[in-house]
Amino acid sequence: MKTLKLGICGLGTVASGVVNVLNRNREEISARTGCSIEIIQIASRTKKDNCDLTGIDFTTDLNAVVTNPEVDVVLELIGGYSPAKELVETALQAGKHVVTANKALIAEHGNELFALANSAGVSLCYEASVAGGIPIIKSVREGLAANDISSVAGIINGTGNFILTEMRDKGRDFEDVLKEAQALGYAEADPTFDVEGIDAAHKLVLLASAAFGITLQFKKAFTEGISKVSTDDVNYAEELGYTIKHLGIAKKRGDGVELRVHPTLISKSALISKVDGVMNAVVVTGDAVGDTLYYGAGAGSEATASAVIADVVDVARALVAGAKPIVPGLGFEAEALKDTSIIEIGDVVCPFYLRVMATDAPGALASITSIMSKHGINIDSITQRENEQVGDMTPVIMLTHEVKEDVVNLAISEIEQLSNTAGVVVKHRVAQF
C-alpha cells in the first residue's frame, strides 16, 4: 500500500482536529483511498497537548515542513497572509500538494497561487476555507457540475449568525451579545472580520468563482456588517414575517455578477431563515436541480478538520491512480475562467426595508410617500408605530417592491431633509428565497 506523507504548518484548533480525526479514523480513511496517510512532521511556535503527536517530528521552523523532501502534502493551517503565502508558494514550487483552510489567503491571492499550482502540476485544495464541515466547494464544483448555476447565497459566518439569533430570541443588543460571543470563543478579541462581513466576503468570493467560473475578485465585493443592526429592527422584521440574517449573496446577471455581504431580511417561511446560532447554510440554485440547501457546522476543530482531510483524500486517490489533479481548483479549466464584471451595489435591484422617525402629525406620512412615488418606488406595506412615540416622533416602517438601490438612496436623502422627519433612515435589503 502506498503512503502519503503529510506535513502540517500550525497546531491550532483545526490542525489538532486533523491529527485527532486521522488518528481515530485511520483505517476507515485508508479503506476509502487505498493509501496509508501519515503525518510525519508538524511545525508550530508552541507544542500543545490537545492531540497525540507520537511518532511525529515536531519543529518550530515552518520552512522545515515545506522544504522537507519526505513531505508529499503540506497542510497550511496557520491562517493570515504572511508567512502563509510564502509557505504555500514554496511548497507549490517544490512540487508539493497544498491543502489550506485559509480563506483570506485564497480570496486575495488565489489567482496567482492557482496559476502556480497549475504550472507545477499539483493540487491547491481549500474545501475547509468555506463553511467549515459543509462540503460546499465540492458540491458546487463537482456535484453540480452539470448545472448552469445562477446564484449562491448563505449564512457563512457563525459569529454573526449567533449574534443576530440572540438579538432576535432574547431581545439583547449587539454589543451585549458580542461580548458573550467573545467569551465563548465564537468571536476574536478584534471581531472586525466577523461582524463587518470581511470573513463572509472572503468565503463568498471563493463560492462565486467555483459556481460561475470567474476569477477571484475580493476587492470588488460589497461588504456591510451587522454592528449597526438594532434590536428594534430585528423585532420589526419579525412582526412583518421576516428574520434578519447576515448573508453572502452571489448572483449571476446578464451584465455581470452581484457579489455582496450585508444584513438581509428573509421570509420566516424560507428554510435558511431557520438556521440559528453558530450554524452555517448555503442555498445554491442551478438550472437542472433548482434550489439546493447545504447545512452544517461552519467552524470547530473536527468539523473543519473533516473538510481538510477530505481534500487530503482527493490527493491520495490521485496518487494511487498515478494521475495528476483531476478537478481544477476553481472547478473550471484555467483558460476558461472569466474576468466577469462585478455589479456595483447601487445597481442591485431588490426589495427594501426602511425605517424613518416622523412626526405624529397630519401630512408627515404623505410627504414621505410623495417622495417615494416621485422616484417610482412602490410601497408594499407601511406602518406607523403610534404606540412607540419618542417625543413627537413616531417610527414609520416601510417595505418596498423591487427597486434599484441607487433610486432608494436618492429617495432616502430627500426624506432625511424633510422638516417632519428626524435622523438617518435605516435601510436593509430583502432577499427572496
**pLDDT average, residue stretch 381-399:** 89
Residue 303 has a pLDDT of 95
- Cβ-proximal residues to 267 (8 Å cutoff; 6+ apart), any chain: 241, 242, 273, 432, 433
Mean confidence (pLDDT) of the chain: 95
In the structure, what pLDDT confidence band is assigned to residue 62 with cuts at 50, 70 and 90?
A: very high
Check whether 324 has a pLDDT greater than 80. no
Residue 118 has a pLDDT of 94
Structural domain 2-133+301-336, CATH architecture: 3-Layer(aba) Sandwich (3.40)
**pLDDT average, residue stretch 273-279:** 96
Residue 327 has a pLDDT of 86
Check whether 386 has a pLDDT greater than 90. no
Beta bridge partners of 153: 249, 283
**In whole angstroms, how far apart are CA 13 and each of 147, 292, 303, 327, 393?**
35, 30, 11, 28, 50
Asked if residue 72 lies in contact with residue 95, where contact means CB atoms within 8 angstroms, the answer is no
User: Is 3.40.50.11260 the CATH number for 347-431?
Assistant: no
Name the least confident of 7-11, 147-151, 253-257, 326-330: 326-330
- Can you give the residue ranges of every domain in the chain? 2-133+301-336, 136-297, 347-431
Check whether 36 has a pLDDT greater than 80. yes
Residue 328 has a pLDDT of 87
Alpha-carbon torsion (136, 92, 77, 192), positive or negative: negative
Residue 336 has a pLDDT of 92
**pLDDT average, residue stretch 270-282:** 96
Say if residue 312 is exposed, middle or buried (CB neighbours under 10 Å; 0-12, 13-18, 19+): buried
Residue 269 has a pLDDT of 96
Check whether 231 has a pLDDT greater than 90. yes
Residue with cell 451579545: 177
Residue 276 has a pLDDT of 97
pLDDT digits (tens, 9 = 90+) for 197-215: 999 999 999 999 999 999 9
**pLDDT average, residue stretch 50-75:** 96
Check whether 323 has a pLDDT greater than 90. no
**In whole angstroms, how far apart are CA 172 and each of 162, 167, 175, 180, 209?**
12, 5, 9, 11, 37
Same topology, domains 136-297 and 347-431? Answer is: no
- CA dist 69 and 385 (Å) reads 70
**pLDDT average, residue stretch 334-358:** 96
pLDDT digits (tens, 9 = 90+) for 407-420: 999 999 999 999 99
Check whether 325 has a pLDDT greater than 80. no
Q: Percent of the chain at pLDDT above 70? A: 100
Residue 388 has a pLDDT of 83
**pLDDT average, residue stretch 375-403:** 92
pLDDT digits (tens, 9 = 90+) for 136-187: 999 999 999 999 999 999 999 999 999 999 999 999 999 999 999 999 889 8
The DSSP 8-state label assigned to residue 342 in this structure reads B
**pLDDT average, residue stretch 113-125:** 95
Give me the count of residues in the chain: 433
Residue 252 a catalytic site member = no
Check whether 106 has a pLDDT greater than 80. yes
Q: What is the CATH number of domain 136-297?
A: 3.30.360.10
Say if residue 25 is exposed, middle or buried (CB neighbours under 10 Å; 0-12, 13-18, 19+): middle
Question: Which listed residue (85, 103, 138, 203) is catalytic?
Answer: 203
- Cβ-proximal residues to 53 (8 Å cutoff; 6+ apart), any chain: 19, 42, 47
pLDDT digits (tens, 9 = 90+) for 297-322: 998 999 999 999 999 999 999 988 88
